[in-house]
Chain A
């Protein structure tokens, strides 16, 4: 990760690695925790971390003296100069649009899983997968 300033590369590296560590912790929660609710919480942390990583990939590097703007043209009406300046300072809008999509789908999945877990609790009286996997159709 080359950069103009070593401190920027160092700090960016810390951010990237902490995102990966966050992903690893949430994956550990999904795999190793027996409670379905804890698995769901870990899953939300995983999706949020992935979203933050996508935003980071779509960001524009900020060497000293540079200008980084959100992908919204604020000076209306547009002129060719304003559009050229906008395209040379704004960040990538595509990852933001994809993350918006991912958040909506993540919300839908979380709602559905939460309701399914509630129903599992009502039926079996527990959310522990070790107990649920040993049940053979009978209710507790």
Chain B
């Protein structure tokens, strides 16, 4: 055992030295970080909002969101699929476990943490919710977006789950089923938004693409970049809203599963019937 560990440590030291030497020789370019950007990055920066090149621009001042949901939209689509496959795997592991609703209504106020923690949570909940919505809705204007906003919204639901106890949250409707429904709504919204311009183009009778946002050359269909003077960047705001919904519900779903009482999981693993 000692011999194995020494071997692993020696191999890792060699790994570090080889990596450092490769970078010193210029494996990542002559200078790190590079003094100037690559042409691809310059093109992204020039095209992210450019009303003089309407056929190529995204009309979003936030270059990262423009890349995530427009320039490389399919990448993000499959990345979202990975996130939800992992959550589906978690749900599959907890199959047969039903968090019970047997607790009567009068003792639900006794569960959870102290009144101080509950009061502080009640005060901070609307603030965190406002921040989450602002992050998600301004994803095409400022740093942030659907995933970040959704994670922040999941913090609220996690606080409710931990501070007010799982049974109270179940009584208020934060259940496995409702979170699965919300998550599926978000996923469906993302899927519909990704083909929205394609459907519009088919209806109008012109060419259009999957994940198209603004009108392109030979494909004049597209969503408006501004709505009543506000910049909405076409599909980006829809993607951010639906991703926020899906991420918040999906993360809360895993929290509910992880916080399930140990006895219920053990009895489900033994094969007991639960109603």
A residues apposed to B, CB below 8 Å = 1-3, 12-13, 16-17, 20-21, 23-25, 27-28, 31-32, 56-61, 63, 70-74, 76-78, 80, 83-84, 86-87, 90-94, 96-97, 100-101, 104-105, 107-109, 111-112, 114-116, 118-119, 122-123
From A97, which residue of chain B is reached at the shortest CB distance? Answer: B67
From B37, which residue of chain A is reached at the shortest CB distance? Answer: A92
Residues of A within 8 A of B37 (CB): 60, 91-92
Identify B32's interface contact among A56, A76, A115, CB under 8 A. A56
Residues of A within 8 A of B202 (CB): none
Residue picked from A1, A3, A74, most chain B C-beta under 10 Å: A1
Residues of B within 8 A of A93 (CB): 41, 44-45, 48, 63-64, 66-67
Residues of A within 8 A of B72 (CB): 97
In angstroms, Cα B63 to Cα A78, docked, is 14
B68 touches A101 (CB 8 A): yes
B8 touches A28 (CB 8 A): yes
B32 touches A12 (CB 8 A): yes
A111 touches B33 (CB 8 A): no
Q: Is the interface of B mostly helix, strand, loop or mixed?
A: helix
A101 touches B45 (CB 8 A): no
In angstroms, Cα B230 to Cα A77, docked, is 11
A115 touches B61 (CB 8 A): no
Report how many residues on chain B are interfacial, defined by Cβ distance under 8 Å: 65
B254 at the interface (CB under 8 A from A): yes
* Besides the known contacts A87-B42, A100-B68, 19 further A-B residue pairs in the complex with CB atoms under 8 A apart: A1-B23, A3-B31, A24-B12, A24-B13, A27-B12, A72-B61, A73-B49, A73-B63, A78-B61, A86-B45, A90-B45, A93-B64, A97-B72, A101-B75, A104-B147, A105-B83, A109-B86, A114-B258, A123-B269
A12 touches B16 (CB 8 A): no
Residues of A within 8 A of B13 (CB): 24
Identify B33's interface contact among A27, A32, A57, A73, CB under 8 A. A57
A-binding segment of B87-95, B122-130, B166-174, B210-218: B87-95
The 7 closest A-B pairs by CB, nearest first: A108-B86, A93-B63, A59-B33, A71-B63, A73-B61, A97-B67, A92-B41
Q: A101-B68, A104-B79 are in contact. Are A112 and B32 (CB under 8 A)?
A: no
B residues apposed to A, CB below 8 Å = 4-5, 8-9, 12-13, 15-16, 19-20, 23-24, 28, 30-38, 40-42, 44-46, 48-52, 61-64, 66-68, 72, 75-76, 79-80, 82-83, 85-87, 89-90, 93-94, 142-143, 145, 147, 231, 254, 257-258, 265-266, 269
Residues of B within 8 A of A87 (CB): 42, 45-46
From A26, which residue of chain B is reached at the shortest CB distance? Answer: B12
A72 touches B93 (CB 8 A): no
